[in-house]
Structure 1
């Protein structure tokens, strides 16, 4: 009996041990499954909340990601997420900027030497001072340095590098390098020897702008914006078009500059607040906080009237435009005095008509930039056609005069020969 009792006790003990072992194994399996399921969930959340922006241009580059609003619940406070994103940006910004296609990175020492220790200043903008520099290769460039008290900052710097790193067009200022070193942020651009459109119109420059140049500048700007709106993938909205951000090279070709406030036309769920420059901002944008391509069209309309009148938006340009719109030839009254007698008034009126369409209060009534570009081009083409017609007419007249002169010579020779025969 005692032996049987011992066997029962041993069996029960073994059974309990096996049961406990099985329970432990099941518990560990459940813990492992939950942990990996949580990791997969986190990975999915990150893939949904961060979508890489597409890239294009000469070569491809990975652009900065745009955060999209979503319905996935993310643990932790909003401030925690922002701090985490800021920490990641600080640790990865150099690698991200270095990945931008075709844009070399310079050291602080390189820029310091090229600018002669930052003594060759060209001007001052909202971003900071701009210096003329000669790089080691002999290339002359302009260096824009982010000032410590600038209203713009790292976000604008990042936007400028990422946008111009993938966009290339003859009517966009070319970014040739950047510098993030010793706490400094600098952008290196191609040198635009004729400065900004604003300086040429209002800066008391010795060199004025004739009508041919102004018409070409309007066409150049339209081509630059057309590339941003209709050629870039995804489309880009400039958001700060103004005469100070239109630069001219040695051949007086205009290029759009300063992309610090630019935005790709994708919804990112964030309200960035009112951006732009007083006098150029779309009134509908002020009302709705919704900046679209048609807001850029409005700003371009203001620039068109700057080219016609040489009146700055801060000098009540809008009031002058409204008065001029009351009659078909109203623009004649506000035409820049420098152009008086030196331009085709019909071309001026046609360009003003395009400007009025761009300044329509309702965005949907404004033309697309492609339509604007074609309208400006037609003005220039009509001009060239007239010049060709006049040239042909002049050549025909010259040939007719030449034939008459030849005939007169022949008649004179015939008369002299008759006189000799008579004698």
Structure 2
């Protein structure tokens, strides 16, 4: 019987190991509940502990295999204490975000969380100096967002020494002193604006945008103005004493200079007023319009002074050709006598707003690059465009044919272009619900064009925010659609939006998915509030997907609301749906045409997006890799790499 005892002992040890395994350490759920206990105002976390699956808890981030990896407790009104000691017990925690809450006091000792890759503390009430060693040992940290708090003192050297740091946002704090030398130079996000920094900007940061350092009056050096003769790293204390003769003499020189400048400006203003008064007496001369608004790229940012359209219309067939029976009521002479202003001028020509006396207000667009199109061919194509009727198309009313130029007359939209609303200086704010409404309308308009031009490679061809106009209720209407056929090929390749799609550099020709790419870029522009810089540069597509690449770089590791425009970032109960729309935009911007969605799938997915998160939608948004409602994407799914 003795020979059986070792076997019995092993079995008993195995059973004991199973029975007492939980006592060896707390589970993630138990740790998180203890962490919650240190917080105040935790009403948003009421389902913690009530859901069987940890990944269904509010604010928890999980990977496709249901592995917990982060906390995203944003816009929840949370306060109290961030218990770092408790967070340290979570072995898989790599991302921590409490953006837009009410935490206050000094920054917690996050350096204990050496596995952390992303730290988001923006828009709280943290304050005080951050110790110089606050980030020591956090060698995996890539993203640090501390914006809009009350931090003071110098920027910690341990932060500047992080070897993998890619995103840094310290704007609107009270950081002072010199900027330390940053080890990482190839930043994706870098913002030190509106602090109290001084001295010379390190040479390693000289390639950053000037806006990264705005609001720091003591800073100098590239990309800002040159530093004074005391040298780049000299502090203000080395300047002459305020009461010294040298400083007093300098003040006198400055005062004299100011007086001279004011006198010159006043004299120049008088001359300018006289010039404008005389200039308004003259009639409009050919060519002036094209020079007035060349920098606006037809975005409709601001109307200019009144102009005379007579010179522009000389040399044509003398007839305004209406393409719709319901759009008559005025003739060419009435249009020429209309009060007109320049809305914008871009690569295709000028746009005018014409207010016809006793008639409608219309938009007249001048196109200079249709020179190879015969009158009959042009007329037939315009008649076809005029027959299109859809709530999200800006109706074409009439056209005017000249050999050199062609003029298209459209209905007028009261709220201007989407570009002017997003990027103009009219202090307008588009809410999330309005932006969603605009995107859905744009998608429906594009779908209508695709259905009515099934054999065309580019049903729209020039879809961008300046070609989406908004009526009195902010309903979107597409304009400049269906013009590829009558456009000069060389000019279309150089300037039309669809020709910026990445496949153009490889195959040299667009297809209907190039319009989908434009739709994706438009979605990202509407969500981020950033203008696609590639639209400003001529040439074929190639490596021009700046906005898509930037969005991809920000969300590659953790899906974060940091990409959203600040005007919609605080939208209540809508961020989950914003994330859905963001991913739709990314699927429309796939670098590989074969992997990019077609217009039917894109439109269908856009229609599914809601204004507010549903009870199930947000909690399941981050669930698996399978579909659009999944919590994460595989690297290949949202990669914009040119190797695709």
Q: What TM-score do you get using the length of structure 1 for normalisation?
A: 0.58
> 3-state DSSP class of the match of 1:142?
strand
Q: Aligned pair 1:221/2:221, yes or no?
A: no
Task: Indicate the residue corresponding to 1:131 in structure 2.
Answer: 352
Distance 1:104 1:271 in 2: 34
CA distance in structure 2 between the partners assigned to 1:184 and 1:284 by the alignment: 31
Counterparts in 2 of 1:127 and 1:274: CA distance versus 1, 3 Å: closer
1:7-406 equivalences under 5 Å are: 100=323, 102=325, 108-114=332-338, 116=339, 118=340, 120-135=341-356, 138-146=359-367, 150-151=368-369, 153=371, 155=373, 158=378, 161-180=382-401, 185-232=406-453, 234-235=455-456, 237-259=459-481, 261-263=483-485, 274-277=493-496, 281-314=500-533, 316-330=546-560, 332-343=561-572, 344-380=574-610, 383=612
Residues 196, 245 of structure 1: 8 Å contact kept: yes
Change (3 A) 1:379 1:131: same
Query: Secondary structure at the residue paired with 2:513?
Result: helix
**Displacement after TM superposition at 1:98 (Å):** 5.3
CA distance in 1: counterparts of 2:374 and 2:464, whole angstroms: 17
Higher RCO by CA contacts (8 Å cutoff, separation 6 or greater) = 1
Question: 1:88-137 CA distances to partner (integer Å, 9 max, x unpaired)?
Answer: xxxxx9799959564759754222112x3x4x222223332222223355
User: Residues 260-288 of structure 1: CA distance to partner in whole angstroms, max 9, x if unpaired?
Assistant: 64349xxxxx9987254469721112210
In our comparison, the structure showing a higher alpha carbon Rg is: 1
CA distance, structure 2, for counterparts of residue 212 and residue 176 of structure 1: 31
Gaps of 5+ in 2: 1-315, 535-545, 616-644
More helix by share: 1
How many residues in Structure 1 have an aligned counterpart in Structure 2?
281
Deviation at 1:376, TM superposition (A): 1.4
CA contact (8 A) 1:239 1:261 kept: yes
Q: TM-score, normalised by structure 2?
A: 0.39
- What SS does structure 2 have at the residue aligned with 1:363? coil
Describe the SS at the equivalent of 2:473: coil
Q: Secondary structure at the match of 1:354?
A: helix
Deviates more, 1:253-262 or 1:301-310: 253-262
Is the contact between residue 280 and residue 299 of structure 1 (CA under 8 Å) also seen in structure 2? no
Shift of 1:372: 1.4
Instruction: Work out whether residues 279 and 313 of structure 1, in 8 Å CA contact, stay in contact via their aligned partners in 2.
Output: no
Q: Deviations over 1:303-360 (max 9, x none)?
A: 1000110111118423312213413514x12211111212511011100110111011
CA distance in 2, matches of 1:184, 1:279: 23
Contact kept? 1:175, 1:187, Cα under 8 Å: yes
> Match of 2:570, SS?
coil
Change (3 A) 1:310 1:99: closer
